[in-house]
Structure 1
Amino acid sequence: MRNILLLSILISFHSCQNEDYNFEISGVINGGKGKAIFLSSTSENDSVVIDSDDGFLFKGKVKNGNFYNLYFDKTRPILLYVDSGNVIKIQAEIESFDKIYNVEGSDVSSDIKTLQGKLEATYNKIKSIYDENMKNADSTKIDSIKNIITLETNKTVNEHRDFILDFIRKNPSSFAVLPAIYQSFDARTPIFSYLNDYVYFRMVDSALMATNPKSVHTQDFHSQVIQYKRQYDSFISQQTKPVEMQTAPDFKVMSPEGKMISLSSFRGKYVLLDFWASWCGPCRKENPNLVNAYRIFKKKNFTIFQVSLDNNKPDWIAAIDKDKLGEWSHGSDLKYWESEPGKLYNVGSIPSNFLINPDGVIIAQDLRGEDLQNKLKEVLK
């Protein structure tokens, strides 16, 4: 992951003796007296010896914001994001240097610490779940114990994902999201993937390109997302959606009020089954078109059933209210891209919709703007 983050960048990097600098990193490492501490990017390295008061000081010059590793041991670094004008202060103990530390003077570095600390806590919780359940495991109940471990582990991982994704939604242009979106428990277990989480990779890419287009990290991530898009589009093109003139697969999903709603309950009406989410920008832009179409055709045996791919109920309900979508039915299992209705309809991107006739047969797909109104005029004569 660091090969992605710590990209080559031209940096004038100087030791403490050179006054031509635009950032400082200092700190106190209790128990570190006399030890060499290192600061490095992919292009430059520097080191100082911790003084008799357990203190150290680096001064340097950075052209654009950059990621640095601060470390005694390369396998246990503190990841920092350093920008021009930063005066960063670190406090830590030598024994727990990379695990328990305080950082001031860089909001991005502080966020990186929080997000990596959450990853460490999640990893420890998963290990504890396994150890506790296997401690007194009875061989005759091993299958049920493994099921319990799987359920508890999945719940813990999903909680961690929700925490990170909430941060990304709120801070898509922060460089702290780059190490976060590449988090993994080990080399084989990434927490996020471009297939399941492409919308978030695209969200971060769009935000960084809008706010920091000249950053080498933005440009590298943008190149990576372009590759992901090719792979994602190839994957989606191989998926089979329900086709026109096919009976729409039925499903049940929970309404915001906690009641189960089935698609088949709309039989006898033309219904637009629309997949969307509160975090989906294109979906939110399309919602006014749905509102207009509904108001024009609602008295002609037409309704809308929106199924959200949200995983946060308050965000979902707030979006319904803000976009004035309350005149028709809504449902969600709050499973994000693991949404059961979404998987049933092979929804790989949103917004996505299906127009279904009173007999429950799909008669059109992915209607937007004027195309939706024109189709409704055609069938609702």
Structure 2
Amino acid sequence: MKYLITTLITSAIFTIGLTGCGNLSSSLNIEGQIEGSENLSVVLEHIIVGQEPVTLARTSSDDYGNFSIDLDPKPRPGIYRVRIGAQGGDLILTGEEDQIRISGNMDQLAQNIFEVEGSEATKEMVESFKLANNREFQSVEDISAHIDQIENAYAAAHFAMRGLRSRPEFVEIHNKTSERLIQEHPGTKDAEQYAEIVVQLNQQANQQANRNQQQGGIQVGMEAPDIEMEGPDGEIYRLSDLRGNVVLLDFWAAWCGPCRIANPKIVEIYNQYKDQGFKVFNVSLDGLDPQARARLSGPEEIEQQLAIQKKRWTDAIEQDGLDWPYHVSELRRWQCSAAQTYGVRAIPRTYLIDRDGKIAVINPRAQTNLENELQKLL
């Protein structure tokens, strides 16, 4: 249901009408140079409301990660996605573009923080994602203020959807962004569809709040649910094996900018307190979700992409100096069983667990209160 709503919103807010968009009979060239994409399939997709993405063009990258797609006539204005292997970056086309060039690496592509030339609408979208990726927002109010600063209403709505998804605490931001789209583009199908789907998000948020109230969820004082999962070396690691230590349970991913920003401070705290019984247990949400797997051509390409995802995960462990042994992942992104058990809907997400295996602090932040809370438990 969440995936469907996300797809509908992302689609609905970008199905722009053709009026006033210039000459659509001329061609469009999209070129790219993406590091880490050597000899992979490259697909240009059009996102259509309530449907699976429609493939418009297909090619392959060369030995250096270069590709080129020519479209004649130009595609109509809307939201498009350049998908390379299992990763994809978004383009907002207005009909005025003649040539677009993108560059970066595969992780940047997946986060919409690649470099772009030839599309001002896409550039504004990308710049907003870059800003968000380099900041640690402290509150929902910070995020709301950032979205207010995005000049283009469509770019603001796209950032809200891709950046925030359908998490209940962000429903008010979606409400405000929808109202802005209605005001700036009254009577358009885009604004009407976004408004309809935001109604669904409000209903979903209310239902989630009721479930949380009934079920309690993960709460301070309860015993931490056990996690049993495979590490990069194939060995099975269990959270319960660390009973008797104070443990930071950290849900993260190599592609998560705020996670990577927090890692140096976690390393610093770990090195200072590891001899006093402090451990870190990392659960990675890298990998491929079922939708990404379904888009690939078959088991061989899935295995190839999983190997790439695993390497990004292990490279991030090495690059960030996370040299403790407790790293696990199912390589299923948000479908990770531990993430679902703990109700993780955004990362970084952390839990400080006391020596008795009970939840002591939910979401302590490395840059602010983690060390203080840790000192109370050691």
Per the normalisation by structure 1, the TM-score is 0.50
1:7 lines up with 2:19 in the alignment = no
Alignment partner of 1:25 is 2:27: yes
1:269 aligned onto 2:269: no
Change in CA separation of 1:5 and 1:329 when aligned onto 2, cut-off 3 Å: same
Q: Which residue is equivalent to 1:364?
A: 361
Structure with greater contact order relative to length (CA < 8 Å, sep ≥ 6) = 2
CA distance in 1, matches of 2:273, 2:28: 66
Identity %: 27
Q: Which residue does the alignment assign to 1:319? A: 316
Matches within 5 A, 1:207-246: 207=129, 217-222=154-159, 228=166, 229-230=170-171, 231=201, 239=212, 240-246=216-222
Conservation of the 8 A alpha-carbon contact between 1:241 and 1:347: no
Distance 1:209 1:371 in 2: 24
Kept after mapping to 2: 8 A contact 1:7/1:217: no
Secondary structure of the structure 2 residue equivalent to 1:271: strand
Decide whether the 8 Å contact of 1:256 with 1:330 is kept in 2. yes
Q: Which amino acid aligns with 2:20?
A: I
Q: Which string of whole-angstrom CA distances, capped at 9 and with x for unpartnered residues, describes residues 13-72 of structure 1?
A: 359xxxxxxx93399xxxxxxxxxxxxxxxxxxxxxxxxxxxxxxxxxxxxxxx99xxxx
> Does the 8 A contact of 1:205 with 1:221 survive in 2?
no
Query: Closer, same or farther in 2 for the Cα pair 1:78/1:299, shift >3 Å?
Result: closer
Contact 2:107 2:255 in 1 (8 A): no
Correspondence list, 1:8-157, <5 A: 8=17, 11=20, 13=22, 24-25=26-27, 103=71, 115=83
Which secondary structure state, in structure 1, belongs to the residue aligned with residue 368 of structure 2? helix
| 1:342 Cα deviation from its structure 2 partner | 0.9
8 Å contact from structure 1 (residues 236, 348) kept in 2: no
Contact 2:81/2:88 (CA < 8 Å) preserved in 1? no
Asked whether the equivalents of residues 205 and 222 of structure 1 are also in contact (C-alpha less than 8 Å), the reply is no
Instruction: State the superposition RMSD in angstroms.
Output: 4.6
CA distance in 1, matches of 2:361, 2:249: 11
Q: Could you tell me which residue of structure 1 aligns to residue 226 of structure 2?
A: 250
Q: Distance in 2 between matches of 1:26 and 1:353?
A: 45
Distance 2:81 2:159 in 1: 24
Q: Which amino acid aligns with 2:280?
A: I
Aligned amino acid, residue 356 of structure 1: I
Look up the equivalent residue of 1:24 and give its one-letter code. S
Is the CA contact 2:28–2:74 (under 8 Å) kept in the aligned structure 1? no
> Aligned partners of 1:227 and 1:331: how far apart in 2?
25
Length-normalised TM-score, structure 2: 0.50
| 1:283 and 2:259 are equivalent in the alignment | yes
Partners of 2:26 and 2:73 within 8 A in 1: no
Secondary structure at 1:348 match in 2: coil
Unpaired runs of at least 5, structure 2? 1-7, 30-44, 47-53, 58-68, 90-104, 117-124, 133-148, 172-200, 288-308
* 2:318 is the counterpart of 1:379: no
Distance (Å, rounded) in 1 between the aligned partners of 2:15 and 2:345: 32
**1:142-162 deviations in Å (ceiling 9; x for gaps):** xxxxxxxxxxxxxxxxxx8x4
Residues 234/315 of structure 1: CA separation in 2 closer, same or farther (3 Å cut):
farther
Deviation digits for residues 217-250 of structure 1, max 9, x if unmatched?
A: 4245246567844148767655453211111111
Q: From the superposition, tell whether residues 78 and 214 of structure 1 become closer, same or farther in structure 2 (CA, over 3 Å).
A: farther
Choose from 152, 157, 170 the match for 2:109: 170
- Judged with a 3 Å threshold, the aligned counterparts in structure 2 of structure 1 residues 223 and 373 are, in CA distance, closer, same or farther, namely closer
Letter of the structure 1 residue corresponding to residue 372 of structure 2: N
The 1:209–1:366 alpha-carbon spacing in structure 2 relative to 1, beyond 3 Å, is closer
Q: Secondary structure at the match of 1:5?
A: coil
Q: Deviations over 1:162-205 (max 9, x none)?
A: 454896852615799xxxxxxxxxxxxxxxxxxxxxxxxxx979
Give, in angstroms, the shift of residue 256 of structure 1: 1.0
Matches of 1:353 and 1:326, distance apart in 2: 18
Distance across 2 between alignment mates of 1:375 and 1:294: 13
Change over 3 Å in CA distance of 1:204–1:234 after alignment to 2: farther
CA-to-aligned-CA distance 1:65-117 (integer Å, 9 cap, x gap) = xx99xxxxxxxx9969xxxxxxxxxxxxxxxxxxxx9638999x9x96975xx
**SS of corresponding position for 2:269:** helix
